[in-house]
Amino acid sequence: MQHVVTPDETGKRADVIVAHHTGFSRSLVAAAVRRGDVRVNGAAVKGSYLAAPGDVIDYDVRERPKLEVEPEAIDLPIVYEDEDLIVVDKPAGMVTHPAHGATSGTLVNALLAHVRSLPGDALRPGLVHRLDRDTSGLIVVAKSDLALSSLGKAMKARFITREYLGLVTGVPAHAKGTVDGAIGRDPHNRLKFAIVAEGKPAVTHYEVRDVLANAAELVFRLETGRTHQIRVHMSAMRHPLVNDPVYGKTDPRFDLPGQALHAWRLTFRHPRSGRDMIFVADPPPEYRRAKEILAAR
């Protein structure tokens, strides 16, 4: 499609103009910009380009195909299971639920092949919380409506305790501490998150577990569960997670798919019996080997 900028549109952003004329969301237009499918006078531009009268905007904005989740026979490291819930030790490198760009091979695909049916949202059935793709460790999934409702409320009330182990560059000056910084989209890079004034509240408690050679292993306890929370907060402290390709840097010495972060301890009250449930999962071999390498430096 093509549009010639009118005098009334002078100074408006190219992505705003395209969104107005197509009726598509800004996110879909932004995706078209990233693909190079929004061009002004024949040249690809950023969405922030300010239009001038007579500019010719060519654009190709497409609706994303509807996502559907299919069961897939994928081995799952199941830690615990009963009629109401299942606790899985998710491998690093596995996406939690389907999304554009990751429509198969996810934890949800594997779970649906294992239990056939899960309550809740079609794309995120049974999910009470999630883990980043390259973060390994414990995640609880509801199998019943009772469990999904009860665990969801417990998560909002902060009655579910999640602790992580992570390797960070350098050694924090204080053995214990708290990072309290609201998290939102990075204004300079929409693919990242950052501490921003208009972000959502986020609180991370940390404690040094082991001092290594110019590195440390920390225990993290979350009060909130924002996307990339630990990674963003540690980067803000200038102690990014080891091998973090987004908020730090990768290191070819480590056989890790991404950041050295593992959800190792999970505590909650069973939604039916009321019993306290405590689960612990050791980090995977790749994490342990990375720690050994850092200790030997």
Q: Does one domain contain both 132 and 184?
A: yes
Residue 65 lies in a domain: no
* CATH number, position 193: 3.30.2350.10
**Domain membership flag for residue 69:** no
Predicted local distance difference test score (pLDDT) of residue 65: 64
Same domain as 171, residue 87 = yes
153 and 278 part of one domain: yes
Beta strands 85-90 and 161-169 are unpaired
Domain region containing 237: 78-295
The answer for residues whose C-beta is within 8 angstroms of residue 20's C-beta and 6 or more apart is none
Catalytic-role residue among 15, 132, 186, 244 = 132
User: Does residue 23 sit in the same domain as residue 103?
Assistant: no
Instruction: Give the pLDDT confidence of 247-284 residue by residue, as tens digits.
Output: 999 988 999 999 999 999 999 999 999 999 999 999 99
Q: Is 132 a catalytic residue?
A: yes
Residue 228 pLDDT: 95
Q: Are residues 94 and 239 in the same domain?
A: yes
Question: Which of the residues in the chain have pLDDT under 70?
Answer: 64-67, 100-102, 297
CATH number of 23's domain: 3.10.290.10
| Whole-number CA gyration radius for the chain | 22
* pLDDT of amino acid 69: 81
